[in-house]
Amino acid sequence: MLQVGDIAPNFKAAASNDQTIELCEFRGKKVVLYFYSKDMTSGCTAEANDFSHYQSDFSAAGAVVIGVSKDPITSHHKFIAKYALPFLLVSDPELAVIRAYDVYKEKNMYGKKTMGVERTTFIIDEQGVIVKVYKKVRVNGHVAQVLADIQTLFAPMS
């Protein structure tokens, strides 16, 4: 598992803006990279709506929010349109980004073991270094905590 102090793995992937993006394009900005399992599901929708709600605060803090799931771009477009999401969603059907960030895990759903994306968020600084990792995220209050941590981690030194 990636840890604080590690360089965030670069990736090149299709994004909801119909462009191929690379993480390294965001050097000079803070990045909130969050992994979720599926568009339109209740927990993932609540998390995306929370990120949307705090979007202006993340922007004011100099942070870009990027969501990653294995859903296709067409699904991302519907998700963004339905909930007016103001940030990029990355499509990773081959699980390249998801595996690079080690968030594809065995899950236990009602006694049945399956493989899936473990809800995880990374805060990456302007130089591409991971400064905070949230594993096994619980949606309620998570996005507010991420914002508070960004404001604390990057507070101007007095």
Point out the catalytic residue in the list 8, 15, 44, 131.
Answer: 44
Considering only CA atoms, which of 132, 143, 131, 96 is closest in space to residue 117? 96
Whether 44 is catalytic: yes
Angle at 130 between CA 136 and CA 37, to 5 degrees: 35
Active site residues: 44
